[in-house]
């Protein structure tokens, strides 16, 4: 048994947090590869080291004196080193960083130092080998992650390395310069390392005990999701549930490696298991609810639409031409409705409408803005009768008008469109009917 363990910024924000992480790693000798983030916030209005690095680099780039800003960052690390009683000195590293900032090495280089330095401390603290991700994780000349090259080189190195710390968030370009993933990208590194090391489990340690059935800003104390499939997770994250970087599932999913989301501050909690497939039935028929506000519906009406071959293609072509992606497209006999993101659509609205008029000569086009989409997701729905019925009666009892319904034949999710102003109320009604009262 081998595991990769990734720790998020809040799990490594201070010496106290480092000690918890050290205890977690030492308590299980299969936790052989460690992927740290940069130190995150110690308290709610604290600043993440990654943000301090971006700001410091901006000053350097503008030709300003950035010594105070860099000193503030060095102090954050020194506090951790001292708190752990280590004798490690980062003085030489900070000299190099200063020189590189003056030479304008780029904001990716700047941001990557957060994980780089934190991993050095972690390696020293654990007595593990330190592997610089710039030498083992690669991007191609277009800045796209190069999975093949990485897999070859990183796999070989990990085969020879019993225990190692590999910084999250960055790798290198073909010219050797540092490149980062998008924000939160240490999750992606963890997944890449898990794949390369052929581990049995990727543990992703954060500050919550896994995924929740619904957003805690809307539902008081929502229940946890104990097991979720990759497909369900894709649906929920797309609709706004966060915890894990979206791209983190791809490398491990291909290899069939499960991810376990765990809480550094409550290591006794089992967290959420993310798996390819499972026979574990979700406790409540539905696995989760997520949603987003800010959609517009464009309703197009034309007599005899159903007999015109290519009508739908021409309609979607108008959106494509203006670079607008569509979310859903429910249809009737003589009507077709396209749901798009309001912020993408608004500035191109008139151009799209005129394209539609030219392309399909509709009898009527009607727009409705300020709509929200809610996804009710669950592998358990397939085997259960009446899920849709329960959702809609719950919404009706809450006096919520449903604007759109879309259920794919996979029966994995039901998408519901409501007014933005009904969004929270609708989520609450659905949560209550499945979880609170458990009908
Ligand atoms: N430190 C980086 C960020 O704040 C990457 C990460 O934490 O995953 O986005």
Residue 26 has pLDDT above 80, yes or no: yes
Cα angle at 68 between 62 and 73, to 5 degrees? 100
Rg (CA), the chain: 25
Chain centroid offset of residue 75 CA: 30
Tell which residue, 267, 271, 260, has the closest CA to residue 20. 267
- For residues 148 and 138, give the distance between their C-alpha atoms in angstroms, rounded to a whole number: 9
Ligand 1 near 227 CB (within 6 A): no
Residue 115 is assigned to a ligand binding site: yes
Q: Around 388, how many Cα atoms within 13 Å sit in the side-chain half-sphere?
A: 13
Contacts of 438 (CB under 8 A, 6+ apart): 284
Q: From residue 41, how far is each of 8, 13, 49, 59 by CA, in Å?
A: 10, 6, 8, 22
Average pLDDT over residues 128-135: 98
Residue 439 has pLDDT above 60, yes or no: no
Give the DSSP H or E segment for 115: helix 107-126
Ligand 1 near 182 CB (within 6 A): no
Residue 63 has pLDDT above 80, yes or no: yes
The CA 9 to ligand 1 mean position distance, Å, reads: 7
Q: Is the dihedral of CA 69, 70, 73, 74 positive or negative?
A: negative
DSSP E strand stretches across 277-325: 288-301
Ligand 1 near 168 CB (within 6 A): yes
- For residues 341 and 298, give the distance between their C-alpha atoms in angstroms, rounded to a whole number: 11
The CA 183 to ligand 1 mean position distance, Å, reads: 5
Ligand 1 near 186 CB (within 6 A): yes
pLDDT on residue 308: 85
Probe residue for ligand 1, chosen from 8, 168, 205 as the CB with the greatest number of ligand atoms within 8 Å: 168
- Residue corresponding to tokens 């809040």: 10
Question: For residue range 403-429, what is the model confidence (pLDDT) as tens digits?
Answer: 999 887 777 899 999 999 999 999 999
> Which ligand 1 atom lies nearest to the CA of residue 114?
1
Beta-ladder partners of 416: 374, 405
pLDDT on residue 130: 98
Question: For residue range 226-263, what is the model confidence (pLDDT) as tens digits?
Answer: 999 999 998 888 887 777 898 899 999 989 999 999 99
Question: What backbone phi and psi angles, to 5 degrees, belong to 27?
Answer: -75, -5
Question: What backbone phi and psi angles, to 5 degrees, belong to 416?
Answer: -125, 135
Average pLDDT over residues 298-308: 90
Residue 9 is assigned to a ligand binding site: yes
pTM of this prediction? 0.87
Ligand 1 near 36 CB (within 6 A): no
Query: Interhelix angle for 67-84 vs 49-61, to 10°?
Result: 150
Residue 281 has pLDDT above 90, yes or no: no
Question: For residue range 189-199, what is the model confidence (pLDDT) as tens digits?
Answer: 999 999 999 99
Q: From residue 275, how far is each of 196, 223, 260, 350 by CA, in Å?
A: 18, 19, 9, 45
Tell which residue, 216, 298, 205, has the closest CA to residue 244. 205
What is the distance between the terminal CA atoms of the chain, rounded to a whole angstrom?
41
Q: Is the dihedral of CA 234, 237, 243, 246 positive or negative?
A: positive
Ligand 1 near 169 CB (within 6 A): yes
- For residues 166 and 186, give the distance between their C-alpha atoms in angstroms, rounded to a whole number: 10
Cα angle at 215 between 210 and 220, to 5 degrees? 100
Residue 171 is assigned to a ligand binding site: no
Question: For residue range 335-348, what is the model confidence (pLDDT) as tens digits?
Answer: 999 999 999 999 99
pLDDT on residue 110: 98
Question: For residue range 92-114, what is the model confidence (pLDDT) as tens digits?
Answer: 999 999 999 999 999 999 999 99
Q: Around 280, how many Cα atoms within 13 Å sit in the side-chain half-sphere?
A: 15
**CA-proximal residue: ligand 1, atom 5 (nearest):** 184
The CA 50 to ligand 1 mean position distance, Å, reads: 7
């Amino acid at each position: 048994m081998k595991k990769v363990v990734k720790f998020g910024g809040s799990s490594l924000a201070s010496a106290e947090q480092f000690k918890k992480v050290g205890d977690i790693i030492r308590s299980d000798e299969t936790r052989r590869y460690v992927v740290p983030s940069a130190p995150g916030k110690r308290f709610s209005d604290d600043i993440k080291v990654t943000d301090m690095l971006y700001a410091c680099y901006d000053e350097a780039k503008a030709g300003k004196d950035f010594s105070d800003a860099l000193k503030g960052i060095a102090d954050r690390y020194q506090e951790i080193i001292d708190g752990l009683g280590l004798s490690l000195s980062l003085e030489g590293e900070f000299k190099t960083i200063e020189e590189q900032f003056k030479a304008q090495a780029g904001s990716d280089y700047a941001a990557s130092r957060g994980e780089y330095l934190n991993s050095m401390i972690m390696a020293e603290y654990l007595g593990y080998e330190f592997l610089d991700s710039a030498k083992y994780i690669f991007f191609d000349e277009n800045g796209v992650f190069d999975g093949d090259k990485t897999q070859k080189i990183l796999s070989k190195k990990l085969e020879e390395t019993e225990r190692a710390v590999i910084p999250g968030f960055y790798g290198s370009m073909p010219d050797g310069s540092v490149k980062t993933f998008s924000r939160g990208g240490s999750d992606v590194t963890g997944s890449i390392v898990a794949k390369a090391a052929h581990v049995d489990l990727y543990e992703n340690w954060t500050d919550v005990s896994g995924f929740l059935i619904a957003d805690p800003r809307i539902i008081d104390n929502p229940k946890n999701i104990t097991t979720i499939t990759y497909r369900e997770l894709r649906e929920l994250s797309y609709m706004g549930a966060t915890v894990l970087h979206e791209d983190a599932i791809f490398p491990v999913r291909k290899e069939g490696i499960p991810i376990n989301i765990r809480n550094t501050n409550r290591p006794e909690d089992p967290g959420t298991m993310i798996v390819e497939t499972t026979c574990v039935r979700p406790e409540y028929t539905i696995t989760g609810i997520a949603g987003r506000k800010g959609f517009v519906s464009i309703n197009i009406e034309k007599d005899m639409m159903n007999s015109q071959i290519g009508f739908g293609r021409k309609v979607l072509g108008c959106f494509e031409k203006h670079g607008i992606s569509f979310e859903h497209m429910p249809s009737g006999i003589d009507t077709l409705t396209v749901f798009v993101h309001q912020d993408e659509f608004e500035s191109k609205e008139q151009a799209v409408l005129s394209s539609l008029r030219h392309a399909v000569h509709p009898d009527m086009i009607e727009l409705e803005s300020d709509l929200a989409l809610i996804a009710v997701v669950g592998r358990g729905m397939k085997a259960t009768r009446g899920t849709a019925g329960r959702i809609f009666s719950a919404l009706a009892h809450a006096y919520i008008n449903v604007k759109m319904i879309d259920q794919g034949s996979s029966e994995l999710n039901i998408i519901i469109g409501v007014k933005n102003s009904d969004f929270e109320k609708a989520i609450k009604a659905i949560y209550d009917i499945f979880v609170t009262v458990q009908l």
